[in-house]
Amino acid sequence: MQYIVFEGIEGSGKSTAMSNVHQSLTDLNIDHIITRHPGSTPLGKHLRLLTKYPEEIDKNIILDELSTQLFMVIDAINFNRTILKPSLDAGVVVLADRCNPISMLAYGIAEGLSYLQIDKLLNIIEPMKPDKLYIMDCSPEVSYDRMLKQNGGDKTGLDRFERKGLPYVKKLYELYHSLMTGDPAFVTLARQCVNFQSIQYIDSTQDPAVIAQQISADIVKGLREIGRDI
C-alpha cells in the first residue's frame, strides 16, 4: 500500500489528518512524500491559484465549471507523470491531500457537469487508483463552521468554492457519501477512480491524535502485507 489519498468536503480535516500521519510515518522512518491537488508540481501551483483565487491573477477572469475541471485534468496528468508514478516505482509512499479524479467527480457533478462530460475527462486522465482512500467524515454544518472560524468568522479569505456557501457543501457531502451507493451511473464513474474495498470513512470529529493513530496503523499494516519491513 503506497498511494494514500485523503478526501472529503472542505473543512472536514483532510489536511490536519494528513499532516499528523506524515509525522507518524516520519517517526517510523517510512520513506514517503506529501502532496496536494492541485499544487504539487510547479505547474500545479499556478493551476491551484487560478482555480481557487482567479481574481488574484486577473479580476476579469470568469471560470465556468468545464474549464475548471479541464485544469484539474492537466494537473492530474502532470502530477501522475512527474511525481506519482516515479515515486511509486521507487517504493516511496505517497500521501495525497485530494485526488484529482475523485475530487473532479464530486465537484464536477456538484457544479453541473453531466456524467458523460465527467466520463470523457476521466478517460483522458486514465486515473491511477489509490491503494487507500480515507474520506474524512463530518457534517456539512461542522465543516462550514470550521471554514468560517479559520477565516475570522466570515467569508474573508475563502476560495471561490468555499464562498458558494453551506448548500454547496451539503451537495458535496451527499456526493462523497454516494460513491458506492448512489445513482448507478455515478457509481460507475466512481469505480473508474477507486476500488471500493479501499474506501474508508473516518469520523473526523474525533481527537486528531486518535485519527492519526488509526490511519497510521492501517497504513503500516498495509505496507507489511506487501512485504515492507517496518
**What does the pLDDT look like over 41-93, one tens digit per residue?**
999 999 999 999 999 999 999 999 999 999 999 999 999 999 999 999 999 99
**Is 31 within the bounds of a domain?**
yes
**Is 70 within the bounds of a domain?**
yes
**Is 230 within the bounds of a domain?**
no
**Is 82 within the bounds of a domain?**
yes
Size (the chain), residues: 230
Contact 124, 17 (CB under 8 A): no
- What integer pLDDT is reported at residue 153 of this predicted model? 61
Q: What are 90-127's pLDDT values in tens digits?
A: 999 999 999 999 999 999 999 999 999 999 999 999 99
**Is 84 within the bounds of a domain?**
yes
Here the cell at position 166 is 453551506
> CA separation (Å) from 189 to 12, 115, 186, 196?
23, 8, 5, 12
In terms of DSSP H, where are the helices of 53-99? 65-79, 85-89
- For helices 65-79 and 42-52, what crossing angle results, to 10°? 160
CATH of the domain at 126: 3.40.50.300
DSSP 164: G
pLDDT at position 154 over 80: no
Contact 121, 100 (CB under 8 A): no
Query: 3-class SS at 193?
Result: helix
**Could you give the CA distance from residue 22 to residue 15 in angstroms, rounded to a whole number?**
10
**Could you give the CA distance from residue 121 to residue 126 in angstroms, rounded to a whole number?**
9
**Is 142 within the bounds of a domain?**
yes
- What integer pLDDT is reported at residue 228 of this predicted model? 82
The pLDDT > 90 percentage for the chain reads 87
> By residue range, what is the domain housing residue 149?
3-225
**Could you give the CA distance from residue 220 to residue 230 in angstroms, rounded to a whole number?**
7
The count of domains in the chain is: 1
DSSP 156: T
Contacts of 224 (CB under 8 A, 6+ apart): 230
- What integer pLDDT is reported at residue 116 of this predicted model? 97
Q: What is the pTM of this model?
A: 0.94
Mean pLDDT value across the chain: 94
- What integer pLDDT is reported at residue 152 of this predicted model? 66
Mean pLDDT of 170-176: 96
In the block, cell 500545479 appears at 44
pLDDT at position 202 over 70: yes
Work out the pLDDT band at 148, boundaries 50, 70, 90. Answer: confident
DSSP 128: -
